[in-house]
Amino acid sequence: MRYHLLILLLCSSFTMATPFETCSGKAYLFQRKPLVVYEVNLLTGNYEQVQGTIASGRNININGLGFDYYFNEQGQSESYFYGFSTTTLEFMRLDKDFNETTLPLINQPGGSFYVGDVYDHHYYFYRTGSGLYKVNLDEDADNYLVVQTITNTARVQLTDFAFHPDHILYGIDNRSGVLHRFDIETGVATAVGNTGVTGTFGAAYFDSDGYMYISRNQDGHIFRINPMADDVSAEFFAYGPSSNQNDGARCVFADLITEDDTTQYDFGDAPESYGNSVDSNGPRHEFQGELYLGMNKPGDDNNNDGLGLVTGLVKGLDSPTVITASEEAYLQAWVDWNQDGVFSAEDEQIAKNQRLQAGSNVISLEVPVDAEPGVTWARLRYGSQQDIGPLGGAIDGEVEDHQVVVTDEGVSYSYYPSADGWTTLAYEDLWPYEGDYDMNDVVFHYRTVTVEQAGQLKRVDFHGQLVAIGASYHNGFAIRVPGVQASAVDTQAMKYTHIVNGAEATLQSNPIEQGSDELIAIITGDVWQLVDTNCDFYRTSSQCMDDIQFEFELRLPFTELQPASSISTLYDPFIFATPNRYHGSYFNSNPGREWEMHLADMAPTEQADTGMLATGDDTSSQEQQRFFKNANNLPWAMEMATSWKHPKSGVDLLQAYPKFRDHILSNKQEFKDWYQSHRRVDSQVYP
């Protein structure tokens, strides 16, 4: 009773507090110093700042947060937030207006506390290495604000815990991701299972259905866990605000969507296996009136009008689609190609962070060759956020689910050298003179995909990596598809992307060479513009190691089937002199685009100056269809059907691969494996 009287005296000058009257479905997140309070919608991750500082304006933060939803015997609310100021080490109560009241604890342990929650009008708090404690919040109790030690054994690494609506206390070990259940009478921690996620989980909440939600400080990701299930794996639920100082609490007795919630949500409507509800963590958007697909907003009649298929979906082919958007924002989309009832987040994604403009947007949809024919589902998610998956919440925009039909019309794919392997292209740029013949002036990894229908060419794809530049001359790189006209390309369905330093692929403008009747795609006008190095050359010296910095992917679909004679494995990749750049004393002026150099016996394009043929060391003959070889049949460009290691700068090819000479002298009948690893001299090649 002495303690109680002392506390009443200490509290006599406190500001009159206004308690909370309702059990809100929102979560409250306390961050930073000075304190910033957010109201968070756990369903979507949307958050709104509701308080800039505590009402007094003191420069403190509050952690170990718990919400006490409590009404006394007279029916009066005594519902407040409780927590510790880690700045002043004071125990505090906050009312609905964020007026703070300092409550002097009796027997308060030393140090800061970041972990806390409230159950049955008692505040529980914890620190690893210190213990688990509780405080009675009943002002009429004899032990009001007296700290009771439950245990001094506290080995679990926690940054927050929370009470289940059935009054069970749970917390996650940040280092291991293991969920623990705490006995609030003894303090014993029992491992329930591994959640599969780690990090600093500064805020933990429960809803009235018994789901636990944890917010990770580093990225703001909100995960959901069912601690009563056999599998307690955490599932990504929504994006929230990130912070290095983070704690939260909510009313454990509230549903995520309460009766007074006026928020408009847009849910997916594919079958339940794809996710279409909160229980299944289906996609949901907090519709805010501005971002939506189609002409009709969510809630209007016929609001699933954002997708228009120009043609049917044929396995192995490209299908132009029209996506209508209200404003500029991002599209994510998936199709269940294998019809297993779920959207694979990566394997079945057809659009990732696709920037849409207001109005109609034409997007080429590539149907995999192994897609299952029949009726399946597509999911489109559109809004201001990037990188959202097929499930979980989004702060704005709309989700649309559509039934689509995939048909099989006899399409086949051919890969060269394989579906995921590389062939290597190596060029010498001193043509028509031999030079040092180190075959590393321009080196590309290269792969082709040929799509055939009824034995004719429907589409061809090219993939490449710039592997090395061992020349001071500036060269461009291009690909010709012999026997096909440039006008045959379906430019709406064409796709051309660059990947720089392993980052996300970025769309590029139309690469088809203007002014050429032949189909020629200019990958780059100058390979030196694609890399950044401190060395004289790029990836040709073991003293100067660089990572591969540039990749490209080019998909060329045709408006009509092209003749079988145009089908090839390599097609025609070649280099050309960069316009307006010096290319050797042999030329009176800079030769530019007219200087080309191809693989052996590939004819030059219509843009080449054929007067350069059969000059210097070159023995080309248009009559014999012999091109780009010297008198010894040595070419200036070669293809090796593997990820070939090229010679170092200044190292002759014969020094690095001695059996190449025998291969040529035998008219290519012997030592066909001259370029393989067991034939090379490792000290003479780039590592």
User: Quick check: 14 pLDDT over 80?
Assistant: no
Distant-in-sequence, close-in-space partners of 23: CB < 8 Å, separation ≥ 6:
69, 251, 253, 254, 258
User: Quick check: 560 pLDDT over 90?
Assistant: yes
Model confidence pLDDT, tens digit, residues 631-664: 988 899 999 989 999 999 989 999 999 999 898 8
Q: What is the pLDDT of residue 245?
A: 74
Best CA proximity match to 560, nearest among 457, 460, 412, 413: 457
pLDDT grade, residue 384 (50/70/90)?
A: very high
pTM, two decimal places: 0.71
One-character DSSP codes across 128-183: TTTEEEEEE--TTSTTBTBEEEEES---S--S-EEE-TTS-EEEE-TTT-EEEEE-
pLDDT grade, residue 345 (50/70/90)?
A: confident
Please give the C-alpha separations between residue 363 and each of 128, 288, 387, 397, 407, in angstroms, as whole numbers. Answer: 53, 26, 18, 19, 19
Instruction: Say what percent of the chain tops pLDDT 70.
Output: 98
Paired tokens of 346: 């990566």
Q: What is the pLDDT of residue 126?
A: 98
DSSP-based three-state secondary structure for 522: strand
pLDDT grade, residue 15 (50/70/90)?
A: low
Q: What is the pLDDT of residue 12?
A: 36
Model confidence pLDDT, tens digit, residues 590-613: 999 999 999 999 999 999 999 999
Sheet with 131-136, edge to edge strand ranges: 115-119, 122-127, 131-136, 147-151
SS (H, E, C) 89-101: CEEEEECCCCCEE
Lowest mean per-residue pLDDT among 263-267, 277-281, 298-302: 298-302
Q: How far is Cα 353 from Cα 344, in angstroms, rounded to an integer? A: 16
Model confidence pLDDT, tens digit, residues 472-504: 999 999 999 999 999 999 998 899 999 999 998
Model confidence pLDDT, tens digit, residues 514-529: 999 999 999 999 999 9
Paired tokens of 586: 């042999």
Helix (H), strand (E) at residue 7 = helix 2-10
Burial per residue of 70-82, b for 16 or more beta-carbon CB atoms within 10 angstroms, e otherwise? beeeeeeebbbbb
Q: What is the pLDDT of residue 409?
A: 87
Which residue in this structure is represented by tokens 């010894």?
Answer: 632
Model confidence pLDDT, tens digit, residues 197-242: 999 999 999 999 999 999 999 999 999 999 999 999 999 999 988 8
DSSP conformation class of 513:
P
pLDDT grade, residue 285 (50/70/90)?
A: very high
Q: How far is Cα 394 from Cα 331, in angstroms, rounded to an integer? A: 12
Q: How far is Cα 278 from Cα 264, in angstroms, rounded to an integer? A: 14
**Average pLDDT of span 60-83:** 95
Model confidence pLDDT, tens digit, residues 152-204: 999 999 999 999 999 999 999 999 999 999 999 999 999 999 999 999 999 99
Q: What is the pLDDT of residue 7?
A: 44
CB distance 381 to 402 below 8 Å:
no
Best CA proximity match to 204, nearest among 285, 80, 263, 118: 118
Which residue in this structure is represented by tokens 């609001």?
Answer: 303
CB distance 174 to 198 below 8 Å:
yes
Distant-in-sequence, close-in-space partners of 594: CB < 8 Å, separation ≥ 6:
577, 607, 608, 609, 612
The reply to whether omega before 658 is within 30° of 0 (cis) is no
pLDDT grade, residue 5 (50/70/90)?
A: very low
Q: What is the pLDDT of residue 197?
A: 97
Question: What mean pLDDT, rounded, does the chain reach?
Answer: 92
Please give the C-alpha separations between residue 587 and each of 146, 302, 472, in angstroms, as whole numbers. Answer: 94, 67, 16
Sheet with 161-163, edge to edge strand ranges: 161-163, 169-172, 178-182, 189-194
Paired tokens of 677: 């690893």
pLDDT grade, residue 11 (50/70/90)?
A: very low
Q: What is the pLDDT of residue 664?
A: 84
Paired tokens of 453: 């229908």
Q: What is the pLDDT of residue 416?
A: 93
User: Quick check: 272 pLDDT over 90?
Assistant: yes
